[in-house]
Structure 1
Amino acid sequence: MTAPRISTVMWPIKPWPEAGEEWRRAEELGFHTAWVYDHIAWKGTTPWYDAYTTLAAAAAVTSRIRVGTLVTSANFRHPVPTAHAIKTIDLISQGRVTIAIGSGGTHRNSDAGILGGDDWSSRERAERFAEWVDLLDKLLRGPEVTFEGTYYTAREVVTEPGCVQRPRVPFGIAANGPRGMRLAARQGDTWVTTGRSKTGDGPYDAVRAQLETLHEACAAEGRDSSTVRRLFLAGFTGEPWMESIEAFRDLAGRYAELGITDIAVHWPRPGGDWAADPKVVEAIAAEDPQTS
């Protein structure tokens, strides 16, 4: 069993340059990746700054830590300008960006319907997600893309000089259902889960079942499932990830035994569910294999 890589999720709620100091601190502590959520606003939190602009700034003030979205939202972004921004951040970071992508939250406070129009059914949301990711993949590989889809269109988009990372920046795909898992198997360098389940299973059992589905999806796509990294985004299941370093080690070890290769914890945010002792955060960062 290989020890999981440890990352952190940053909060885009502080003004620059104060926020930049936190990103530099995350790098100093030794986290593998610093992620940021992609929303216009999240659960009523304001201010909530733009993810992609934040990534560009963070990439400019760091030199080693990887940066990325966890996850880019298909609720309000079109693949064409998104690809253009990703290539620019990849250049600024000199190849340190990863883009995790999700179908978008279904509630208004997570940006659903923010651009107007009819609400998306579950089927339409899944179809849009797959088409969105496939078009983004084409746009980042280049050199020129014309695409006529059901939901998205691109016409004679020149994509050169392309990404620093070849053939494109890595994708993480957040998915739980069979269709999303097939997308992860086809396009994902990493699969992302929060461990939540609609069936009432506890997070451990939910992740175990999800990993079985991922394995089946990879087999259907003719891909070795061991080539897909598996990231657990901690903090949404009531487990005491940030209570102590001992609690973290216990949980990380259990999920690593299931096959989780990466764990992301939240940067401490005083007050509420995301509060944590900074000393515990430092100890967790030191658990990353590249730091140890």
Structure 2
Amino acid sequence: MRLSTVILPIHRWSEGQKIWRRAEDLGFHAAYTYDHLSWRSFRDAPWFGAVPTLTAAASATERLRLGTLVTSPNFRHPVTLAKDLLTVDDISGGRLTVGIGAGGVGFDATAMGQEPWSPKERADRFGEFLPLLDELLTSDATTREGAYYSAVEARNIPGCVQRPRVPFYVAATGPRGLRLAAEHGQGWVTYGDPRGPADVPVDQAPAVIAGQLAKLRAACEARGRDVDELEKVMLQGSTAERPLASLDAFVDWAGTYRDLGITELVIHWPVPDSIFENDLAVFERIATEGLAQLG
């Protein structure tokens, strides 16, 4: 099992770079950031762009994997996103992971003047978005016409450092999204029950993930793919569980999800006076000692 962190893009880089370097020093496998234009309680506070942040982080670190968790079609287009991703992959020396999902109904969904998409339209769009992004990142030139997204002789030379392309970690719980994860993903991401993860009683939260993993396994079998080929990533912070309260709480929590089949846990870097407020000293102890105590 691996342990990673999410660093929100809320810090001016004079301070933010210290956090990304500290994440590397603490031994995290990866550090991700959210790809939003703004987000929930941080809407009226500083919030910087994901791609420039990851570019800067790539130059400030040497070993740490970097990534989005997650990017989506809400305000992205595959043609421009592909160019950004292969550039960050190059600057980082092949350390980029692309967490990607269908998007939701938050601020990003209307910031560009569009009406919010229905769940069906989001799924339809993602069904075009992800295969086109895959093709763009694995081809020197791409032409494809879609109902929502098209490319006309879009060039992506020299391609990604990682071959055949940067890994996709697909956030999905529904049947269409899980099929896309099985077809295109190198990993799968969950944060709990998408209908309201914080509403699920703590003792029932693992059963939600177990059910999602069973559906992922079925999707992989239908595709003729071994589910063990995919990383299973769980993003902490949305459920009622409180694994960062202490080292012991983390060890118990991590052990539960390791036994279910989760291969990577992602915990939020503490943010004072927010929903991600946690004791930094406890957090750093979790980072350096937590997995070692799983046995």
Shorter-chain TM range is over 0.9
Which deviates the most, 121-130 or 27-36? 121-130
Which of 168, 171, 188 lines up with 2:168 in the alignment? 171
Q: In structure 2, what is the Cα distance between the partners aligned to 1:197 and 1:99?
A: 20
| SS of equivalent to 2:283 | helix
Residue deviations 1:73-102 (CA, integer Å, cap 9, x gap) = 210000111110101100110000000001
- The residue number in structure 2 matching 1:87 is 86
Distance in 1 between residues matched to 2:44 and 2:63, nearest whole Å: 30
CA distance in 1, matches of 2:51, 2:182: 25
Whether the 8 Å contact between 1:196 and 1:236 is mirrored in structure 2 is no
180, 198, 213: which one pairs with 2:177? 180
Q: Deviation at 1:116?
A: 2.1
Residue 63, structure 1, aligned to residue 62, structure 2 = yes
- SS state at 1:271 partner: coil
Identify which of structures 1 and 2 has the higher relative contact order when contacts are C-alpha pairs closer than 8 Å and 6+ apart: 1
Deviation, structure 1 residue 61: 0.6
Q: Give the letter for the 2:81 counterpart.
A: T
- Distance of 1:197 and 1:205 partners within structure 2: 14
> Is the CA contact 1:67–1:97 (under 8 Å) kept in the aligned structure 2?
yes
Residue 134 of structure 1 aligns to a residue whose secondary structure is: helix
1:112 deviates by: 1.1
Structure 1 residues 197 and 91, CA gap change in structure 2 (3 angstroms): closer
| Alpha-carbon distance between aligned partners in 2 of 1:98 and 1:272, rounded to the nearest angstrom | 27
Instruction: Report the TM-score, using the length of structure 1 for normalisation.
Output: 0.94
Contact 1:197 1:203 (C-alpha < 8 Å) held by counterparts: no
The alpha-carbon deviation at position 113 of structure 1 amounts to: 2.2
Q: Which residue of 1 aligns with 2:281?
A: 279
Q: In structure 2, what is the Cα distance between the partners aligned to 1:266 and 1:226?
A: 26
SS at match of 1:226: helix
Q: How does 1:48-59 map to 2 (within 5 A)?
A: 48-59=47-58
Distance 1:119 1:158 in 2: 31
What CA deviation, in whole Å up to 9, does each residue of 1:125-177 have, x standing for no partner?
A: 00111211111101110111001011001000111100000000000100011
**CA-CA distance at 1:45 after TM superposition:** 4.3
* Distance in 1, Cα, partners of 2:164 & 2:279: 40
- Tell me, in whole angstroms, the C-alpha distance in 2 between the residues paired with 1:132 and 1:176: 17
With normalisation by structure 2, the TM-score equals: 0.93
Deviations 1:202-261 (CA, angstroms, capped at 9, x unpaired): 321110110010000001111001111100000100101110011001000001111000
Could you say which residue in structure 1 is the equivalent of 2:137?
Answer: 140
Per-residue deviation, residues 21-75 of structure 1 (Å, max 9, x unmatched): 1100000000000000011100124211000000000000100000000001210
Distance of 1:149 and 1:98 partners within structure 2? 26
Q: May I ask how many residue pairs the two structures share in their alignment?
A: 285
**Aligned amino acid, residue 83 of structure 1:** A
> Hey, what does 1:229 align to over in structure 2?
231
Q: Aligned letter for 2:85?
A: I
Any unmatched runs of 5+ in structure 1? none
Counterpart of 1:223 in 2: which secondary structure? coil
Asked whether the equivalents of residues 136 and 142 of structure 2 are also in contact (C-alpha less than 8 Å), the reply is yes
Q: CA deviation at 1:191?
A: 0.3
Structure-2 residue corresponding to 1:211 = 213
Corresponding residue for 2:22? 25
The amino acid that maps onto 1:26 is: A
Match of 2:120 among 114, 123, 130: 123
Structure with the higher helix share, 1 or 2: 2
Q: Give me the identity figure in percent.
A: 49
